[in-house]
Amino acid sequence: MRKKLIAANWKMYKTSAEVTAFTSAFLPLVAANTRDEIVLAPPTIWLTQLHAELKGSNVSASAQTMDWHTEGAFTGETSPLMLKALGVKYVIIGHSERRQYFNETDETVNLKLKAAIAQGLTPIVCVGELLAEREAGKTADILRRQVTIALQNVAPAEAAKLVVAYEPVWAIGTGKTATPEIAEEAHKIIRTEIATALGLDVGAATRILYGGSVKPDNCPTLMACANIDGALVGGASLDPSSFAKIANYGA
């Protein structure tokens, strides 16, 4: 049974005071939730603070990105070794905004995935198609390519912690949400590709999240799909009440 994972991606939002205000309001709202894993991904600058504020709670911290080098002359970057030293558990890799604005590629996603695994971090690897690609009937091809390259030279045993997030780019920040049927079909394609690359057991065990305008009202329907194992939430995760409703879906 795959335990669902509900992750908040705060992107480039929140000051230090706003982080504290969020955790103060949010943690009591989800304290009784033992059903799911709950994760908050703040801007890198607030990871130390957030990790301290989450201590003793049922919520974990995640980085939004990282470099694949352990150390070096890479101004402005954060290494997986640094994240591990902070006590961070998760790291988002290859988010569509990183691909769009910061030149991340399928190949650099692969490098980051392997580096995260090497440091014991749980990678949340994002894949998804553009609107033009979906309209051209290329969704399956895009997802297969992204998953295949991301998993190159990764052994099945190394992928035990792997999490994949399907985020149709046309549904991120647009208010448009893939129907449960569209999302489920994409998740099936991803799961099949993972099984092809790493074996049936890994394919069956890997959690695949949906990300794309997830809100309290559509979360229960999405979470009821057989191959959807959680959510990667953007805008609706910035408000503690809204994100708590998503994390507690169906309760």
Domain count, the chain: 1
Give the pLDDT band of residue 213 (cuts 50, 70, 90): confident
With CA atoms as reference, report the closest residue to 159 among 127, 206, 125: 206
CATH number at residue 189: 3.20.20.70
Q: Rounded mean pLDDT of the chain?
A: 95
What was the pLDDT predicted at 146? Answer: 97
Distance of alpha carbon 203 from alpha carbon 141, whole angstroms: 18
Residue entry with tokens 């399956």: 140
Report the pLDDT averaged over residues 139-162.
96
Convert the pLDDT of each residue in 162-181 to its tens digit: 999 999 988 776 777 788 99
The pLDDT of residue 27: 98
> Annotated catalytic sites, by residue?
95, 167
Q: Structure tokens of 213?
A: 């305008």
Q: What percent of the chain has pLDDT over 70?
A: 100
Greatest Cα-to-Cα distance within the chain, rounded to the nearest angstrom = 48
Q: pLDDT tens, 11-69?
A: 999 999 999 999 999 999 999 999 999 999 999 999 999 999 999 999 999 999 999 99
What is d(CA 225, CA 104) in angstroms, rounded to the nearest whole number? Answer: 30
Kindly tell me if the per-residue pLDDT of 111 is higher than 90. yes
Torsional class of 56: left (φ above 0), alpha (ψ -120 to 50), beta (otherwise): left
Tokens (6 digits) for 122:
């749980």
Name 55's Cβ contacts closer than 8 Å, sequence gap at least 6.
none
Q: What is the mean pLDDT of residues 151-156?
A: 97
pLDDT > 90: percent of the chain: 92
**Whole-number pLDDT of residue 212:** 87
Domain enclosing residue 181, as ranges: 5-247
Buried b / exposed e along 89-112 (16+ C-beta atoms within 10 A): bbbbbbbbbbbeeeebebebbbbb
